[in-house]
Amino acid sequence: MSTLVHVLPVPWSSYDYTLRIIRMLNLPGGLLQLPITLFRENKVDWHPAWMSGMLWAAISWPVLALVFWWMAGRAVDALVALKSSQPGPRITLIEAIVGGVLMLGGVVTVAGLAADRPADIYSNATTGFVIAAGGLWAVLGGTSVVARFRQWRLRRTLGKSAVGAA
């Protein structure tokens, strides 16, 4: 009897939690898929007929969220380079705006769910996962905004020192 349960490295009871965690870590990827879902007649995410929707989301959302992870990684690289007064990878205005939107969305998610459903945070795993994901993306989005601002300040400071030296 060869089933999916025997192949998995985790017990079946935690399999569902594993898929939820993967989906929540890649929440912006799900937001990219949201317009497609809204235009479908049954308002359900598209997934192959032979696969569950949760498994499909755990596979497809990380691919869709790659651009957001890339932007967060560039922002962290820029902040690390700024510690030694080097500009590092230049954070563009688009990256800062997208980071700001992610930060705002994460803060609204955390504050909204924590205020609306405080009892569900500990009793409902999905609510806890969404709050944790919102907090994660609030921090990761905020790094782009902070990196852009600090790079702007460094360029302004270096520009003034170059003018003063001449």
Q: What are the start-end ranges of the H helices in 83-124?
A: 93-116, 120-123
C-alpha span between 58 and 8 (Å, rounded):
15
C-alpha span between 75 and 79 (Å, rounded):
6
pLDDT (0 to 100) of residue 122: 66
Report pLDDT digits (tens) over 130-154: 888 899 999 999 999 999 999 998 8
What letter represents residue 90's amino acid?
R
Closest by CA to 141, choosing from 97, 108, 91, is 97
Report pLDDT digits (tens) over 33-75: 888 878 878 777 777 778 877 888 888 889 989 999 999 999 9
Per-domain residue ranges of the chain: 1-64, 66-166
pTM for this prediction: 0.75
